[in-house]
Structures are given as C-alpha cells and as structure tokens.
Amino acid sequence: MSRETLPYMTDEQFNQVAFVYRSRKGGSIRVVGMLEAKNYDGKPEWELLASLDAHRWIETLLRSSQKQQREQINRILK
C-alpha cells in the first residue's frame, strides 16, 4: 500500500496506523506501519491480529492498571 492510494488520510493518521502480525511458524510478533504492512499482508506465514491507532492505544495502555493492560494485550494476541 502506498501513501498515494490513501489521499483521504492526513499524514498524521497515516503514520499512526499500526498492524500487529503473528508468525504462524514460530509465533513471533511484528508491529509494522502502513508502508511495511505490504511485506506481511496476504502471506500465509503471517496472521494479522490487529490494526490500531498506535498513539491512542499506547496512551490507553499506559493509563490502565496492570490487570487491564494484560487483558488488552491478550485481546490482541488471541
């Protein structure tokens, strides 16, 4: 996906999107931006777990209790 294909998004919105992938082989996790997601999307060895607004998700996570943090992370990693 290129920046030009999403002209309706501001640069800030474009740069805040994070994609969370898990390797189907080893279970490793990768969090990548919009431009790098093309290297993982649609490849059978990678599973897309979540697409999120990175800045807001991190802020929410940091404001949460440890129990809530674990729950939020576990929701993504299901």
What confidence tens digit (pLDDT) does each residue in 53-76 have? 888 889 999 999 999 999 999 999
**pLDDT for position 12:** 73
Specify the higher pLDDT residue, 8 or 35. Answer: 35
pTM over 0.85: no
Encoded tokens for 12: 């800030």
- 13 pLDDT higher than 60: yes
Q: In this structure, what DSSP letter does residue 38 have?
A: G
Encoded tokens for 33: 């931006």
